[in-house]
Amino acid sequence: MPSTLIDLHMHSTSSDGKLSPTAVVQLAAERDVDLIALTDHDTLRGVEEAQAAGREHGVAVLPGIELSGRYPDGQCHLLAWLPDPIPAAFLDWTHVKERDRETRAREMVERLQRLGLELTWDDVRAAAEFNIGRPHVADALVKTGAATSRKDAFERWIGNDSPGYVPSGKTEPAEIIERVVEAGGIISLAHPYSLKLDPAALDAYVQRLADVGLCAIEAHRPDQDAATQAAYHALAKRHGLLVTTGSDFHDREREEARLRPLGRSGSPGISDDDVEALLSRLPGARDALAG
């Protein structure tokens, strides 16, 4: 286990997590995590609260965000970590991303209504605190009786290739990367398996992203076995990229929380050397840990 425990991929009620930003930080403190990034989907609205909680509980908190890029099949998600304070122009751009996310959810509701489901936009709004997205549509489907669980809602109604599905991401990944780099941040390809590419195609895709400024690959996650972690680590090194680690935490009570404990990135997990390389590049990381 690395001597500095970090978790750079976490979600709160500011997007589709079940804990408030404050509660996420409190949980990280309970688990002795030194540094986290709150990376809610397409929004930075929970960061200020998380940082205030971090100061209270002795956890360094970096501004972060998980951004959805246009992709023909599977999902292209990019994790970005920003300087503090976050540049105003980047904040303004994330507000556009939030609106795009809500538009997508509205389109899903309309499709489901055309399929005969008794689901309203108010049902979905009631399922979310902020930044409405597909998981909140799933929760509304459960509450209205159209699905038995969020997993069931995705499989039957709004998952990829399901009748209510609307593709995510209206922004090209290259544009996302360029905006993050311009803002002084660094960016990592999240859970590469979600691209649904074979190794050769993934290698070529990573090269294209690296050419426009991709900094890292999320090689270390508890849901990626040792062989997968090694393959992604090698992929990163071939392209001169860092490797990042995160739990993708959403919910303390769900099985996901037990499979993805905070700060533990599976076996073998991220090394001390790779943590040090990350800390040297993450904006404000060393200062946050020191202060």
Predicted TM-score (pTM) of this structure? 0.89
Q: For 234-282, what is each residue's pLDDT tens digit?
A: 999 999 999 999 999 998 876 565 556 666 666 778 999 999 999 999 9
What string of DSSP letters covers 180-245? HHHTT-EEEE--GGGG---HHHHHHHHHHHHHTT--EEEEE-TTS-HHHHHHHHHHHHHTT-EEEE
Q: Going by CATH, does the domain composed of 103-158 fall within 1.10.3720.10? A: no
The Cα 61–Cα 53 span in angstroms is 9
User: Which letter does DSSP use for residue 86 in this model?
Assistant: P
- Rounded to 5°, the CA angle 49-54-59 comes to 150
Tell me the CA end-to-end span of the chain in Å, nearest whole number. Answer: 23
Q: Going by CATH, does the domain composed of 6-94+171-290 fall within 3.40.50.80? A: no
Beta-carbon contacts of 48 under 8 Å, excluding residues fewer than 6 positions away, are none
Q: For 82-138, what is each residue's pLDDT tens digit?
A: 999 999 999 999 999 888 888 999 999 999 999 999 999 999 989 887 778 888 999
Task: Please identify which residue in the block is written with the tokens 């200020």.
Answer: 48
CA distances from 66 to 8, 109, 152 (A): 10, 23, 24
The number of residues in the chain equals 291
Phi, psi at 65, each rounded to 5°: -160, 145
| Domain locations in the chain as residue ranges | 6-94+171-290, 103-158
pLDDT of residue 257: 57
Tokens encoding 18: 């079940």
- Residue 58 reports pLDDT greater than 90: yes
The Cα 113–Cα 128 span in angstroms is 19
The Cα 23–Cα 27 span in angstroms is 6
